[in-house]
Each structure stands twice: as structure tokens, then as C-alpha cells.
Amino acid sequence: MGDVTNQHQAIAAPASTFADAPSASRAAGQEPFLAADVGGTHARIALVVRAVDAKRPIRVLHYHRYSCVDWPGLGAMLHDFVRRLADTPHAAASSRIERCALACAGYVLDDAIINENLPWPVSIGVIRASLGIDHLAVINDFEAVAYAAQFIGADESQPVIETAQPPLPGPVLVMGPGTGLGSAVLLPGAARAQVLATEAGQISLAPGNEREIEILRLLRRDRAHVSYEDALSGPGLLKLYRVLCELRGAVPRLITPAEITGAALAGSDTAACEALDVFCALLGSFVGDLVLLYRACGGVYLAGGILPRIQPLLLASTFAERYFNKGVMRAYLQQVPVRLIEHGQLGVIGAAGMHLDSLPSDGRDDGL
């Protein structure tokens, strides 16, 4: 019988839908399955399989990244990915796929995944039926990235703030701006990694200087609540740029976040340069707050789609100054390193790993 899981929730498909499915007689998780990491801009889809290496328990067999706006829906992308497998060494596996682990921001409501940043609706039933799979596990996107953070090697990240000593054992914060602002915490101390999902991006934006107070005043004109996501995201960067143009008495000439980051990197637009300065400063303050909130002494990984592209600006900005500017807690923060990671395949690896961890210890279906 098919099921959809979202953290600890499950929705059963009609029993007749998969009455003849072969999974009842075969251990779940031993065969290759699909894993997808879906954001507002890109969807990353992979064919994965459980691996025997504890340091890398998920092996990616085939991987492809899709641009969401080029497709009518997630189901079409998943179907295209399976079709593409016919031209790979994994063609035989494409006929045996019975499950999919889907990392996506938002939440499950009845048959739908609710996420305002996606360009199209996502129907759980339609995806499951179109692929003919038994199980669809729905996992928060940054939970998945945080889960995968435990497998990141030292050579797979770039330092933003380094410390004299290795990080202490403890919670690890994973956060980053993309189409939205995601955040999750990897918790140590259990046989299986535990991940705390958060909605930290919806915390009220806190300005750190007079210029940011002016920015907040303008952002509040058309809303009662201004969150960090309203500034620290792709759409948020566009808002910062437009507000700063207004404060400068200039006409905005850039219309996308990519144009703004490009102009800032080139130094060709003063409002764009200031927008990225403010963006990085607010990010530093926010990350420092979250480290203190979750006592994330194990370190911070910055992910998301924006930061790798602006790494030179981030390193040259007041990010570190604002990160440390927490009064008596400055000495504590000086012990917590911050590193930059490429989102890449982390979401699909994390989604797959969390799904396998959710299965009963004998690896067989639980009948949901």
C-alpha cells in the first residue's frame, strides 16, 4: 500500500492501487530509488541506493538538475528523469523504482505540498500515480541538507570564519538564502542523526544600524510583519535593491536578483553594491543569533543558491563583524566556525538518508 510521509505523518493510498506491487516481498531501501530536492528555482533529481560505507551511506548513481520554470510541474520532471535512465548504465533499475524521497520546502496538506515559492502546485497523488511508485516520502528541504551535512568532508567547504581550534561536539546549524530562507539544525548524540526543522526565516527582521532602520521602515509600508526572509532571499535581495534605489533617489534599472549580484560583483551599480553589503551584514547578524539560539557549537554551514555566487563579496563584507557583535557572547562565537558549502547533491543525499532512517530496522515496509 502506498504512503506519503511528512516528518511523522502518513497518508495511505487506496489499497487497490498497489495490490500487486512487488515491494511486499522485498526489503525496502535495498533497491535503487528516486531522491529529489525541489526548490523554487531548481529541482535536483537523482537515482540513489543505500551504500555500505557509514561515512557515505548514500550512493548517487545518476543525477540531473532541472530549471523549474522550464517544466509544467514536478511530475513531468520526475517522469523525464526516469525516461533518461534508459540511456544510462542504470536502465534496468528504472523499471524497478518503487519509492521516492522528496525534499521540499513547505508542508503537506491533504494531497498537496503547500509552498508559495514553487512555480506550480504539487499533487502527491498525481506524482505517485504517474510514476507508478509505492511510496513518496516528503521531507523538509533544509532538514535534508542538514542531515547530509554530517557527511561533508573538510575539502568540500570553504571557510568564512575560521577558529583556532576544531569545533566542539554539539549542534550544527545549516542555513542559507535561495528562493526562500531555509534553516535546520543537525543534533548529535543519537545512533541516527536527528534534525530539527525550523522556520527561523520568519523571525522578525532586526536592523543593526540607522541605514537598516530606514530600510525596515520602507519595507513595512505594505505589511505588518517583515521577516528575515523578506531581505535574505532572492526576492528579498530585489526588495533591498529597490528600497535602496528609493533612498538614493535613483531609478531601479536591475530587475532580477541575478542582475543585482552580477552588477555588485562587477562594481557597476552603486545601489546593487550597497544592497549586497546590507544583505551580508544582516546575514551575519542573523547567523550569530541562530548560533546562540540553538547553541550550535558544532559549527555553521552556509548553503542556498545565492552565497556561492557572491563568495568574494561575502568574505569582504561586514558579515564577520556583525556575526561576532553579540556583546558578552562574542568569545563564544569566536569558537564557532562558519563554512560555505555548495548545495549541489546534498539535498538528494539527505532526503534519501532520512527516508532510509525512517524505515523499520528490518528494512521492510511498515504497512502504512
How many residues are there in the chain? 368
Q: pLDDT per residue over 146-160, tens digit each?
A: 999 988 887 889 999
- pLDDT of 54 higher than 90: no
Instruction: Find the mean pLDDT for residues 222-249.
Output: 97
Task: Please state, in angstroms and rounded to a whole number, the distance separating the CA atoms of residues 344 and 289.
Answer: 26
pLDDT of residue 12: 35
SS3 assignment, position 67:
strand
- pLDDT of 181 higher than 60: yes
For residues 131 and 79, is the Cβ–Cβ distance under 8 A?
A: yes
- pLDDT of 368 higher than 80: no
CATH number of 3-144+345-358, picked from 1.10.3720.10, 3.40.30.10, 3.30.420.40, 3.40.50.150? 3.30.420.40
Strands 33-38 and 338-340: unpaired
Q: pLDDT per residue over 100-130, tens digit each?
A: 999 987 778 888 887 777 888 888 888 888 8
Q: Average pLDDT over the chain, rounded to whole?
A: 86
Nearest of 78, 154, 184 to residue 337 by alpha carbon:
154
Q: Which residues are CB-neighbours of 206 under 8 A, at least 6 positions away?
A: 285, 289
Q: How far is CA 219 from CA 30, 176, 199, 216, 290, in A?
A: 51, 21, 20, 5, 23
- Between residues 81 and 28, the one the model is more confident about: 81
Please give the grid coordinates belonging to residue 10. Answer: 502518513
- Between residues 60 and 130, the one the model is more confident about: 60
pLDDT class for 24, splitting at 50, 70, 90? Answer: very low
- pLDDT of 4 higher than 60: no
Ranges of CATH 3.30.420.40 domains, the chain: 3-144+345-358
Instruction: Find the mean pLDDT for residues 159-172.
Output: 91
Looking at the chain, the whole-number percentage of residues with pLDDT higher than 70 is 89
pLDDT of residue 218: 97
- Between residues 161 and 114, the one the model is more confident about: 161
SS3 assignment, position 46:
strand
**Domain 147-203+280-340 grouped into CATH 3.30.70.270:** no
For residues 28 and 38, is the Cβ–Cβ distance under 8 A?
A: no
pLDDT of residue 16: 25
Cβ atoms within 10 Å, residue 334: 13
C-alpha 197 chain-centroid distance:
11
pLDDT of residue 119: 81
Looking at the chain, the whole-number percentage of residues with pLDDT higher than 90 is 61
Task: Please state, in angstroms and rounded to a whole number, the distance separating the CA atoms of residues 139 and 121.
Answer: 17
Please give the grid coordinates belonging to residue 18. Answer: 498497489
SS3 assignment, position 278:
helix
pLDDT class for 300, splitting at 50, 70, 90? Answer: very high
pLDDT of residue 109: 81
Ranges of CATH 3.40.367.20 domains, the chain: 147-203+280-340
pLDDT class for 349, splitting at 50, 70, 90? Answer: very high
CA contacts within 13 A on the Cβ side of 25 = 4
Q: Which residues are CB-neighbours of 348 under 8 A, at least 6 positions away?
A: 35, 36, 37, 44, 45, 46, 48, 60, 63, 101, 103, 144
Task: Please state, in angstroms and rounded to a whole number, the distance separating the CA atoms of residues 201 and 178.
Answer: 11
- What is the Rg, in whole angstroms, of the alpha carbon atoms belonging to the chain? 21
pLDDT class for 247, splitting at 50, 70, 90? Answer: very high
- pLDDT of 2 higher than 60: no
Residues 319, 322, 325: CA angle, nearest 5 degrees? 150
